Amino acid sequence: DDIPVITIDGPTASGKGTLASEVAKALGYHLLDSGSLYRATALAALRQSVPADDEEGVARLATALSLRFDDHRIELDGQDVTEELRREDVGLLASRVSAHARVRDALRELQLSFRRLPGLVADGRDMGTVIFPQAALKVFLTASAATRAERRHKQLISKGFSANISDLRQDLEARDARDRSRSAAPMKPAEDAVSLDNSALSIEESVQQVLAWWKQRQ
């Protein structure tokens, strides 16, 4: 069928979320922030005291997740958890639960259901390799670890959280190493992905590059 999909994969704090949301806005497409599903699963596990290494238990939670998406806000069990999902500890826990194949399977259908007309922009780690292998444009977005740690730091400070750049850099490098080395859907560029290093680009420049690639493919 012909519902267009653009995938944006890449490491932590590379700016995938912002880029995906700006590209979706420019094209009038739907948006899937797949990381938020792993984060919601992690938060549910935290709340119900299911240990991250209990694959079966976490997969059961993921299957039964009661999520509502509404205008860039997310509700879990009827409660707005948008801010809570962005917490650093939730992100780290998400990277642990996301390593389980059964957890990934449990979230697959939900991710596919975001593909609706007029089109979808999906960001994550395996959007182009596993979930939407047919996507017409696959971007692998990177930035240096220093740049990413700085951006994450700014983000946290602006939200009133305190944070230390070298701790953040360590956390994100640990998370990326785990995401790259796991056997279930490891983070890697799809064979037909185009790479974009945005360390020295503004958000607007990155958006324009992706839109230009998209135009070439029409």
Binding span for ligand C5P by CB under 6 A among 30-38, 135-143, 163-171, 204-212: 30-38
Alpha-helix runs per DSSP H in 98-164: 101-106, 108-112, 145-158
Identify the residue among 7, 12, 142, 206 touching ligand C5P (CB under 6 A): 12
Question: Per CB under 6 A, does 35 bind ligand C5P?
Answer: yes
Q: Which two tokens stand for residue 94?
A: 């998400």
Member of 8, 44, 58, 94 binding ligand C5P (CB under 6 A): 94
- Six token digits for residue 32: 């899937």
Applying CB under 6 A, the span of 19-27, 60-68, 87-95, 198-206 interacting with ligand C5P comes to 87-95
10 belongs to an annotated ligand binding site: yes
- Residues 42-81, one symbol each (x = binds ligand C5P by CB under 6 A, - = not), give ----------------------------------------
Identify the residue among 29, 38, 132, 214 touching ligand C5P (CB under 6 A).
38
Alpha helix segments (H runs only) across the chain: 16-27, 34-47, 55-63, 82-85, 88-97, 101-106, 108-112, 145-158, 165-181, 203-216
Residue 98 near ligand C5P by CB under 6 A = yes
163 annotated binding-site participant:
no
Residue 187 three-state SS = coil
Three-state secondary structure call for residue 137: strand
* Region of 71-79, 123-131, 144-152, 195-203 interacting with ligand C5P (CB under 6 A): 123-131
Which stretch in 55-63, 70-78, 121-129, 146-154 sits in contact with ligand C5P by CB under 6 A? 121-129
> DSSP character for 160?
T
Give kind and range of the element (H or E) at residue 188. none
For ligand C5P, give the closer residue by CB, 8 or 210.
Answer: 8
Q: Is 11 annotated as a binding residue?
A: yes
154 annotated as belonging to a binding site for a ligand: no
* Residue 9 contacts residue 140 (beta carbons within 8 Å): yes
**Which run of H or of E encompasses 77?**
none
Per-residue DSSP letter, 130:
I
- Phi, psi at residue 173, to the nearest 5°? -70, -35
Q: Could you tell me which residues are annotated as the binding site for ATP? A: 10-18
Binding positions for ligand C5P, rule: CB under 6 A: 12, 34-35, 38-39, 91, 94-95, 98, 124-127, 175, 179
